[in-house]
Each structure stands twice: as structure tokens, then as C-alpha cells.
Amino acid sequence: MSFLSKVEKVLSARELLYTLLLVAVIAPILSPIGLPIGISSRTRDVYNYIENNLKPGCHVYVEVYYEVAARGELEPALMALTKQFFDKGCKIVYGSLISTGPIVFSLMLAGAPDIFAGKEYGKDYVFLGYISGGESAAASLAKSIKGTVKVDNYGNPLETLPLMKEVDSATDFDLVVIVSSGTDTFNYYVRQWYTPYHTPLLFAALSVIAPSIEPFVGAKQAIGMIVGQRGAAEYELLVGRKGLGIASMDAQSISHLLIIVFIVLGNVVYWGMRVTSRGGGRK
């Protein structure tokens, strides 16, 4: 067995990669390196848009559409945005077209008592809860929230909540934020909120779906996008609240480095074996 074959055998052992990956994630969390996090111009543009265009008393609709698994990527962005909205004196209506919405919203509330401190439910923010129907629900809410759902997630009639006396349809909102782990949700809001009503949209997307929704941002159908955990970490820095995003960046860096090293090694071994194999033919 040649040297390269032996290397290939060692590297192919999944146990090695899995163990190294676990170490790459856990070690930087236990012993943070504190690598500096640069802020991309795209994230800064989103921050500046909110700073410059939203005035005290403005209304924001936030679609909370993600699986519990996606909390690590999206919750930091949701928290940081919420903090900025509250700091600006905005009022927020949260809604969810995914059934996990009430879970992730309650976990978000539990994880950010500082952000919601001093904010009154019903006056400063409202959670509509889960509304089934996907795109149909998005279209219905855009026309009239109170005409679609009568009570909020906690059983309070909407007409009794002061905030809901100020807003009802898509045109009443200054900004709509879609925090989503699904590509479809962005389509729903572009089709049912932006296209008919021109309500400005902001995307906060999982990294993995960001490339496929870039065309909407490129065509100015959304004012910008916060991409995954990296974007969330940058936003946490901008709003001045350290959270899971910043805490994860060292582990992300080391894990990425490990995967890049394995990809490069895989190619070195592949080409080495291909060149040294008799005739150099394709394997």
C-alpha cells in the first residue's frame, strides 16, 4: 500500500473527521480566541436604513418563521433587530406562518429579558401566534390582520390591544422583517406584501438559503438581508448587545478551517493518486 493510499485510508475514517469537528466546535467555546469580527457593508446598510428611515412610533411587522433547529442562526438576528426597533421607539407585531413559531417566540422572549424589559405587551408589541395556510394566510394578513385572526397567541381579543388599534393592513407598516428558515416564506411576502402594497421588506435568512433569494434583494424587492449567524454577529456588534452570534464566531472559524483543510487534503490525495497510478488514467 502506497503512502498516499495510507493517508487516504486515515482521512476517510469518518470517526476522525467527526471527532475533529466536535473538538473544533467545543474547544473555541470553552476557551474563546476572540477573533475580531469585521462588519460587512451589506449588514451596515441594513442597520443604517433602519436608523435613518424608522422614526419613533413607527410600526414593524416581524414574521417569525423558523424551525427550533434554526434558532442558533436566526434568533440572534431577531433579538438584535428587536433591540434596535425598541431603541428607536418602534412598535412590533410578531406573527408566524409556521407551527413552530410559538415555540421559538417563547424561547426568544425567555432569552432576551433585557430587550423586553420596560416594554408592555399589547402596547409595544403583540404576538399573533401561528396562522396556518402559508401564502393564503400571508395574503389575508396583508389585507387585514384583525379580519383574519380575532385573538392573539395568548387568547386576548385583538381589538382590546392598543397596538392593534394603530395597525391592520400591510400599508400600515413601515417595515416588514421576515426571519425565516424557508425559501418559500420570502416568496410569499414578496408576492403578497411587497408586490401589491410596496411595503418595504427586510430579509433575515439562514445562510444556506441566502444565495437563492439574492435576486429579490438585487431587484430591490427587499431593502437588504442579514445572512445567518455571521450577519447576526455583525448586527449584535452594531446594536451593542453580545449574544449567541458573537459567541459562535470562533467555533465557526475553526470548524470552517477544518473543513477547508479536509477539502484541500482530499484533492491533494486524489490528484497524487491519480498522477502516480499506472498510466495516470481516470479512476
Partner 1 sequence: MISWEVLGAWLGAALVVWIYSFVYRDNVFYKFAEHLFVGVAAGYSISLALDSLNRVAIKPLSTNPAVSWHYVIAIILGLLMFMKYSKKYYWLARYGVGVNIAVGTALALRTTPMANIVRQITATILPLWTPDPVTTLNNWLLVLITLGGLTYFLFTIFPKKPEAGKPSLPYYVYRVLYTIGIYGMMVGFGALFANTIMTRVGFLISIYLQYLQPNAWASITAALLAAIAIIAGIVMGRSRK
Partner 2 sequence: MVVRRVLPQFIVSLVIILMLIFYFFYINDDVAKTFSADDKALSDWAVIISSFALIVGGVDIFRFHLTQLRRGGLKQAPFSVVTLIAELTMVVFGAYGLALSYLNPALGITITTQPQFRWLYTYVYAPSDSAMYSILVFYIASASYRAFRVRNPMALLLLIVAIIVMLGNTSLGALIWPGFLPLRDWIMTIPNTAAFRPITIGAGLGVIILGLRMLVWREVSWMGRRE
Q: In the complex, which residues of this chain contact partner 1 (CB under 8 A)? A: 15, 18, 21, 25-26, 29, 69-73, 99, 102, 129-136, 139, 148-151, 187, 190-192, 194-196, 206-208, 210-212, 215-216, 218-221, 227-230, 244, 247-248, 251-252, 255-256, 259
Q: Which does 3 bind (CB under 5 to 8 A by kind): partner 2, partner 1, none?
A: none
Verify binding: residue 136, partner 2, rule CB under 8 A.
yes
d(CA 17, CA 10): 10
Residue with smaller CB distance to partner 1, 160 or 276: 160
Tell me if 193 sits within 8 A of 138, measured CB to CB.
yes
Can you tell me the distance from the alpha carbon of 54 to that of 46, in angstroms, rounded to the nearest whole number? 12
Q: How far is the CB of 10 from partner 1 (least distance, A)?
A: 18
Residue 257 binds partner 2 (CB under 8 A): yes
**Bridging pattern class, strands 59-65 and 175-180:** parallel
As a whole number of angstroms, the distance between CA 245 and CA 76 comes to: 6
**x-or-dash pattern for partner 2, window 260-279, by CB under 8 A?**
x-xx-xxx--xx--------
Q: In the stretch 39-78, what mask flags binding to partner 2 with x, by CB under 8 A?
A: -xxx------------------------xxxxx-------
The position carrying cell 430579509 is 203
> Is-contact 64 176, C-beta < 8 A?
no
226, interface contact from partner 1, partner 2, none, CB < 5-8 Å by kind: none
Binds 257: which of partner 2, partner 1, none (CB < 5-8 Å by kind): partner 2
- Residue type, position 264, single letter: V
For residue 129, state whether it binds partner 2 (rule: CB under 8 A). yes
Give min distance, CB of 167 to partner 1, in A: 18
* Gap between the Cα atoms of 35 and 249, Å rounded: 8
Question: Going by DSSP bridges, is the β-strand pair 125-130/201-205 parallel, antiparallel, or unpaired?
Answer: unpaired
Min separation Cβ 55 and partner 2, Å: 29
CB 151 within 8 A of CB 159: no
Read off the DSSP letter of residue 151. Answer: B
Q: How many residues does the chain have?
A: 283
Q: Does 185 bind partner 2 (CB under 8 A)?
A: no
First to last CA, the chain: 17
Residue 117 CB burial class (10 angstroms; 0-12, 13-18, ≥19): exposed
Residues that bind partner 2 (CB under 8 A): 11-12, 14, 17-18, 21, 35-38, 40-42, 67-71, 99-100, 102-103, 106-107, 129-134, 136-137, 139-140, 143-144, 147-148, 153-155, 207, 210-212, 214-218, 227-228, 230, 249-250, 252-254, 256-260, 262-263, 265-267, 270-271
